[in-house]
Amino acid sequence: MTSKIQIPHELLPADGRFGSGPSLVRDDQIQRLVDGNTPRTHNLIMGTSHRQAPVKDTVAEIRDMLARLFSIPEGYEVVLGNGGSTAFWAVAVTSLIETRSAHATFGEFGNKFYDEAARAPFVSAPKRFDADPGKLAKVEITEGADVYAWPHHETSTGVVSDVERVTDSGLMVVDATSIAGGIEVDISQTDAYYFAPQKCFGSDGGIWFAILSPAAQERAEKLHKDSSRWMPQILDLSIAISNSVKNQTLNTPALATLLMMHAQLEWMLAIGGLEATAKRSRTSTSMVYEWAEKNEYATPFVRDPQLRSPVVATIDFEGIDAAEIASTLRHNGIVDVEPYRKLGRNQLRIGAFPSVEPDDVAALLKSIDYVIEQMQK
Ligand SMILES: Cc1ncc(COP(=O)(O)O)c(C=O)c1O
């Protein structure tokens, strides 16, 4: 029974969390919850009102740290609201698409945003540019489109895209949920760069953040004034903007998520910002890709090295059952390396966001080698 395989203790990573989100939360972030405050203000946060200064100051610091981390251009705003990136798709459909959108879809998450736009009764049918899983599709100039949308990183397949403005006549709406904070990016190429904190930021889910250009803010304001469009308050981006600039959210946020996000941003800036966080992740995933290329049973799922994610490595297996490797690893405390559930491949998916220690990735690979060796016996 392979589930009984015990990996020798000296091979195991110090931390066995390699999920693609929710992902490893550093001890320091958990400690913030225990302390219940932000060190700069020394004010208790947990269990206190989100309309009072301690929480609002925390939100202000988060917004300021995000602005610094991403070196946001003049006029851009860091905006937040409840509901995670899935909610932001609905916000974008309601508050950013005026007439029509164009989408690059090359995996589950790009598809989900496209589907949301396709269901909306008040916009024209969206256009899609499609590619098979493991490959990349790019948006092209589309007649009537005023929003161009694509994932910076398709978490379901481990494909990374460029972030470059396609045209000046339209908003570039980029889903950075699983890569924001783990790669360098030029925010001026985007109008809405949005993400949730349960990936590179190692926090919990349930909140979305969006870095919005002046054009995106204007669009939100314009559609807010369009009385022909039904716009629930929670989907009204102009309301999220007016709350965010006051360091509030429309409704009650998860304070623990904010505190852990705060702790992570301090850490990211202290170690050297995006350049440093990106380097950590790339070091980790490069090890995985090199290991797969040398391993007779394994191949990187994304064939084109240029498209391979620097934060989530997807590895196909042949001649050996990846699900059995994953369950044996789980039995030994190494968790969440199963492939994206709907991809249906004989695969491991290894999340190596900035919080993951590259040494632990090296240990993970040794552990996998050991498991394969035992499975072959
Ligand atoms: C690329 C991408 N977009 C959107 C989402 C949805 O995010 P949320 O769970 O915060 O709604 C995810 C979640 O894994 C994702 O990876």
Looking at the fold, whether 205 and 339 belong to one and the same domain comes out as: no
Answer yes or no: is the C-beta of 257 below 6 A from any ligand 1 atom: no
Taking residues 144-161, report their average pLDDT: 98
Mean pLDDT taken over the chain: 96
177 lines ligand 1 (CB under 6 A): yes
pLDDT at 38 over 80: no
Assess whether the C-beta atom of 204 lies below 6 angstroms from ligand 1. no
Ligand 1 lined by 151 (C-beta under 6 Å): yes
Residue 309 in contact with ligand 1 by CB distance below 6 A: no
pLDDT band at 42 (very low <50, low <70, confident <90, very high): low
pLDDT the model gives residue 85 = 98
Q: CB–CB of 352/285 below 8 Å?
A: yes
- What separation in Å is there between the alpha carbon of 342 and the centre of ligand 1? 14
Residue 3 C-alpha to ligand 1 middle, in angstroms?
Answer: 31
Is the bond leading into 22 cis (omega within 30 degrees of zero)?
yes
Nearest by Cα to 233 from 83, 97, 334, 26? 83
- Asked if 37 and 182 sit in the same domain, the reply is yes
Q: Do 73 and 171 belong together in one domain?
A: yes
Ligand 1 mutation target, pool 109, 193, 194, most atoms within 8 A of CB: 109
In this structure, are 352 and 338 located in the same domain? yes
Instruction: Give the pair of three-digit tokens for residue 8.
Output: 């020798």
- What is the radius of gyration, based on Cα positions, of the chain? 21
Confidence of residue 34 (pLDDT cuts 50, 70, 90): confident
Say if ligand 1 is within 6 A of residue 111 CB: no
Residue 218: what are its φ and ψ, rounded to 5°?
-65, -40
In a domain, 148, yes or no: yes
Would you say how long the chain is, in residues?
A: 377
Q: Residue 108, class by beta-carbon neighbours within 10 Å (0-12 exposed, 13-18 middle, 19+ buried)?
A: middle
Q: State if residue 109 touches ligand 1 by the CB under 6 angstroms criterion.
A: yes
Rounded-to-integer distance, Cα 132 and Cα 12, Å: 35
List the Cα angle 43/44/45 in 5-degree steps: 110
Q: What is the CATH number of the domain that holds 371?
A: 3.90.1150.10
User: How confident is the model over 68-86, as pLDDT tens digits?
Assistant: 999 999 999 999 999 999 9
Contacts 24+ apart (CB under 8 A), 232-238: 232/94, 234/81, 234/82, 234/83, 234/87, 235/87, 235/90, 235/91, 235/94, 235/95, 236/91, 236/94, 236/95, 237/79, 237/91, 237/92, 237/94, 237/95, 237/96, 237/210, 237/212, 238/95
Looking at the fold, whether 43 and 185 belong to one and the same domain comes out as: yes
Examine residue 356 and state whether it is found in any structural domain, yes or no.
Answer: yes
Domain boundary, last residue among 220, 247, 270: 270
Terminal-to-terminal C-alpha distance of the chain: 11
Q: Is any ligand 1 atom within 6 A of the Cβ of residue 313?
A: no
Write the pLDDT tens digit of every residue in 117-135. 999 999 999 999 999 999 9
Closest residue (by CA) to atom 15 of ligand 1? 177
Same domain, 97 and 21: no
196 pocket-lining for ligand 1 (C-beta < 6 Å): yes
The answer to whether residue 35 scores a pLDDT higher than 70 is: yes
Q: Give the C-alpha separation, 158 to 367, whole Å.
A: 22
| Residue 39's pLDDT band (cuts 50, 70, 90) | low
Asked if residue 110 has its Cβ within 6 Å of ligand 1, the reply is no
d(CA 66, CA 51): 21
| Coil, helix or strand at residue 222 | helix
Q: What is the CATH number of the domain that holds 161?
A: 3.40.640.10
State the maximum Cα–Cα separation within the chain, in Å, rounded to a whole number. 69
* CA of 86 relative to ligand 1 center, distance in Å: 6
Q: What's the CA dihedral at 243, 247, 248, 252 to 10 degrees?
A: 150
Type of residue numbered 356: V
pLDDT tens by residue, 244-278: 999 999 999 999 999 999 999 999 999 999 999 99
Q: How many domains does the chain have?
A: 2
Q: Tell me, what's the pLDDT at 36?
A: 75
pLDDT tens for 269-286 read 999 999 999 999 999 999
Q: In this structure, is residue 4 part of a structural domain?
A: no
User: What's the whole-number mean pLDDT along residues 214-239?
Assistant: 97
Place of tokens 């001026």: 188
Instruction: Report CA(175)–ligand 1 centroid distance (Å).
Output: 8
Residue 221 has, within 13 A of its CA and on its CB side, a CA count of 9
What share of the chain in percent tops pLDDT 70? 98
